[in-house]
Amino acid sequence: MTTPPPPYGTPPGYQPAPTDSPYGYAVAPTSGKRPVRSWDVVLTIVLLVLNLVLAALVSFMGLFLAMASDPCGVRDCSTDLIATGMMVAVGLPWLVLIVIVVVAIVLMVMRRLAFWVPIVGGILIVGSLVLGWSIAAAGVPSA
């Protein structure tokens, strides 16, 4: 069985197709890999470096939660909650940073868009400081 030529003449580069081609002419095979988006790789790396700086700043700010125990001489405070809040604010940003670096690298190796991972990670890093503040504040009763 032969395939008929295309209805409007033969296109440039026409080659007779195998009998199982539904297009009527040979189609160049495509590779299964996605193209590398260099802008995504550069933007992701820059944002990951900024997240490193953000994690260091948030962790440093978390150390100041130890001062939440200053009014505890007059009031009954839960020093365990204050210490837990301080540890969350100091340690959690680094854990979030490790997770976003791994996820971003995996996405870049798979050649998928990865610039959004450090953006979400930056929000989570700041959220870890807010979580630490909340836990430490729960240890200091209000007047």
For the cut 80, the answer to whether the pLDDT of residue 27 exceeds it is no
Question: CA 115, CA 134: separation in Å to the nearest integer?
Answer: 30
Q: Give tens-digit pLDDT for 73-111.
A: 777 888 899 899 999 999 999 999 999 999 999 999 999
> What's the mean pLDDT when you consider all of the chain?
84
Question: CA 86, CA 91: separation in Å to the nearest integer?
Answer: 9
Residue 36 CB neighbours (<10 A) = 9
Q: Give tens-digit pLDDT for 29-67.
A: 566 778 888 999 999 999 999 999 999 999 999 999 888
For the full predicted model, state whether its pTM sits above 0.85.
no
Position 70 scores a pLDDT of 80
Per DSSP, the three-state class of 63 is helix
The alpha helices in 64-115, defined as continuous H runs, are 79-109
